Amino acid sequence: MTAAALDYDAWIRTFDAGSESGSAVPGLRLVCFPHAGGSASFYFPYAKLLRPGIEVLAVQYPGRQDRRGEPCLDTIGALADRAAEVLRMRHPVEPLAFFGHSMGAAVAFETARRLEDRPGPRVLRLFASGRRAPSVFRPEFVHRKDDDGLVTELQALSGTHPALLTDPELRALVLPTIRSDYRAIETYRCAPGASVACPVTVLIGDADPRVSEADALPWEEHTSCACDLQVLPGGHFYLEQQRDAVVARIRAALREHM
């Protein structure tokens, strides 16, 4: 196996469809980008629900799970550069759809922009979940807080398993990675006028303490195509309780490509 292939396999996770889909050949691939502190395995339930017809490719950022020994990348630009590189390598002409939650929405947006700059896979649609529009800036400094302050933020969003935040040894393992991701998203600045050439579907929870409808609506300024906002019940991690509803919306938006 070449070094390039090993690099792709480090960055991209697929979940074996087995006999559930009836075929190893997907109709469409959906590339999923995790939230701050998240990993590719977060999207395993979605991979099962989207079969058949859609295969999930989940991005695994360095510094977590089986990549824990690698240094984290603490800028959105660096994460997007590498994601675009590996996708262009393995899927040079294949159409893809993107889904990103929270920090992952920013990484997905910037990855799509990079793929448009050079020949490579065409992004059919971007699903931006739980993230305000790139141009909506709000000063945030969670990455500068001490460990207790960082834990308080994570508890407020209810997206991290309580055991990871209360066990001292587990905290020591996960907090540096989470802090690095927060540094990446909190220092991210969108280039003026930045946009993508694909439709954008924005999904948020109606009780999200970090993203309001007013924050999400300006996503329409970041695409030259259509943009629609859909609000579902729940908080920042609404997509854990609303999986069936999210899957229905993904399928509806991508139906013409399947």
Question: Of residues 39, 102, 180, 195, which has the active-site annotation?
Answer: 102
CA nearest to 131, candidates 245, 208, 192, 60: 208
- Please say whether the beta carbons of 162 and 134 come within 8 A: no
- Tracing tokens 């055991």 back to the chain, one arrives at 163
- For 63: left if phi > 0, alpha if psi spans -120 to 50, otherwise beta; the answer is left
CA distances to 60, 84, 98, 175, 198 from 121, rounded to whole Å, are 19, 9, 11, 34, 12
Mark whether 41 is an active-site residue. no
What residue spans of the chain are helical by DSSP H?
A: 3-11, 44-49, 76-90, 103-117, 147-157, 162-166, 168-186, 213-216, 238-241, 243-254
**Dihedral through CA 102, CA 104, CA 105, CA 110, nearest 10?**
140
Specify the DSSP class assigned to residue 202. Answer: E
Q: How would you classify the pairing of strands 200-205 and 96-101?
A: unpaired
Query: What are the catalytic residues?
Result: 102
